[in-house]
Chain A
């Protein structure tokens, strides 16, 4: 259970390595949920603002962004509508890159998002936080506020180190907070034709057996086409293999949450 405690389910999508399909994963799952009439909020915590751009919003000229949550007291309402039905967005702005330096690791700055979400989470069923690939105040905020951390990871050797690093970070956060964080490694961009991918997948399963999803998100050019079209993958190509895989992942996550919520 996250510190937000009630209202929306809050999922962070994070990895300290870049290029592992974090944004795609958040958009794919968010898109699928919105199709089943769930109200979805996406929060773009990456100064590169890929998710914001994906939604057709220019991060260089947004009126408000995640930055406002850390800069204004009380924080404003940085939520924007997107072109996609049932999905709202808190956009990113390039200024987010300066946040760590400005806040200088100040006390309590890791709980800003948690406090803000307490005020808005009743308006949504699911919140997805798309993290930048670096440990900093934004990622800490996301991990602390979340019910579930998804760790997309490319099935290649260097990505395994990224997952190890994330596992260490999560363990430290658990020590700081004295609570357990639920996290799941999601193998992405899997190309079964390459030996490197199959070997890396096996290594991931050997090392993170209890925390890794049993299946994979395959590499799929339709995902790139969806981003070019500015549509969530499920809206662009609902029957493509990667979307079908994301649907399986969503079913798994929802089933896991139901099991966790069942009284003993």
Chain B
């Protein structure tokens, strides 16, 4: 294909996610499952939440309330952090994150670990297990843009951190603006696709569980 400047790997990847999500939904075998989706108008973009999120120094790490909130966040409007890896944009529900730290400290390598596991990062009073997001969720893909991780996104009470090249913005998301995946036998970390932004929405809880299983 001739390079006309209007093509980008990020758009191609997001396009594939949109189509895959559409197909997954059409082929789900529980047709009645949509009925409980809350229909609310999409609120305006909340810009300054990103600043609050990127600096966690001197603040308490938010802790998750008791109970599994994996599904709760999907049912009502939520804020999502948009970040990028290899110029591919992702969205992660803010409520499922513990913060973002700049990657300025050295990560301690550990022997005999998978290639996606980068090592341990000392963060305040505990070690964060840091994973290479590109190697974890974008395996086998080729990119025109090199990854240069500058931040680590903390999840699962700060036990895990995932690298990202850049933070884009925080947006308010209405549930109906996401094409939720019906079945997640493959890529359990992929909750769905944010249509307006053409980006994958991470299921942070599923991702953390996947990491725990992989590291067990």
Taking CB atoms and an 8 Å cut-off, the chain A residues in 88-146 that contact chain B are 105-111, 135, 137, 140, 144
Tell me if B27 and A144 are in contact (CB < 8 A). yes
- Residues on A with C-beta less than 8 A from B183 are 176
- In the bound complex, residues from chain B placing their C-beta under 8 Å from that of A258 are none
How far apart are the CA atoms of A215 and B25 in the complex, in Å? Answer: 37
Q: Within 8 Å CB of B26, what residues of A?
A: 105-111, 137, 140
* Bound CA span A111–B31, Å: 10
Asked whether A108 lies within 8 Å of B28 as measured between CB atoms, the reply is yes
A228 at the interface (CB under 8 A from B): no
Q: Name the segment of A19-27, A49-57, A166-174 touching the other chain.
A: A166-174
Interface 0/1 of B11-22, CB less than 8 Å to A: 000001001101
Quick one: given A106-B34, A108-B31, A110-B27, are A178 and B185 in contact (CB under 8 Å)? yes
Bound-complex Cα distance A110 to B22 (A)? 10
Q: How far is the CB of B160 from chain A (nearest CB, A)?
A: 26
Which of B20, B31, B179, B182 is within 8 Å of A175, CB to CB? B20
Q: A172 CA to B22 CA in the complex, in Å?
A: 10
Instruction: Please tell me the size bucket of the interface on A.
Output: 10 to 19
Q: Which one of B19, B25, B34 has the greatest number of beta carbons of chain A within 10 Å? A: B25
Distance between Cα atoms of A144 and B24 in the complex (Å): 12
Residues of B within 8 A of A173 (CB): 23, 27
- Give complex CA distance A144, B25 in Å: 13
Question: A108 with B30: in contact, given A168-B16, A175-B186 (CB under 8 Å)?
Answer: yes
Q: How far is the CA of A204 from the CA of B101 in the complex (A)?
A: 50
Of all chain A residues, the one with the shortest Cβ separation from B180 is: A107
Interfacial residues of chain B within 1-52, with CB under 8 A of chain A in the complex: 16, 19-20, 22-34
Q: Is A177's beta carbon under 8 Å from chain B?
A: yes
Contacts of B31 in A (CB 8 A): 106-109
Per-residue A-contact encoding for B171-187, CB less than 8 Å = 1, 0 else: 00000000100110110
Q: Which residues of A contact B19 (CB under 8 A)?
A: 135, 169, 172
Contacts of A135 in B (CB 8 A): 19
| Cβ-defined partner of A105 (8 Å) among B20, B33, B179 | B179
Q: Which residue of A lies closest to B21 (CB)?
A: A105
B28 proximity list for chain A (CB < 8 A):
107-108
Known: A106-B34, A172-B20. A111 touches B185 (CB 8 A): no
CA distance A64 to B138 in the complex (A): 47
- Once bound together, how far apart are the Cα atoms of A177 and B29, in whole Å? 11
Residues 56-77 (chain B) with a chain A CB within 8 angstroms: none
How many angstroms from the CA of A169 to the CA of B33 in the assembled complex? 25
Q: What are the nearest 3 A-B pairs in CB distance?
A: A110-B26, A108-B31, A107-B28
Question: What 13 new A-B contacts, CB under 8 Å, besides A135-B19, A175-B186, A178-B185?
Answer: A106-B25, A107-B32, A108-B28, A137-B26, A140-B23, A140-B26, A144-B27, A168-B16, A172-B19, A172-B20, A176-B20, A176-B23, A177-B27
Give chain A's interface residues, CB within 8 Å of chain B. Answer: 105-111, 135, 137, 140, 144, 168-169, 172-173, 175-178
11 chain-A/chain-B pairs, Cβ below 8 angstroms: A106-B26, A106-B34, A107-B25, A107-B33, A108-B28, A108-B29, A108-B30, A111-B29, A140-B23, A172-B20, A176-B27
Residues of B at under 8 Å CB distance from A?
A: 16, 19-20, 22-34, 179, 182-183, 185-186
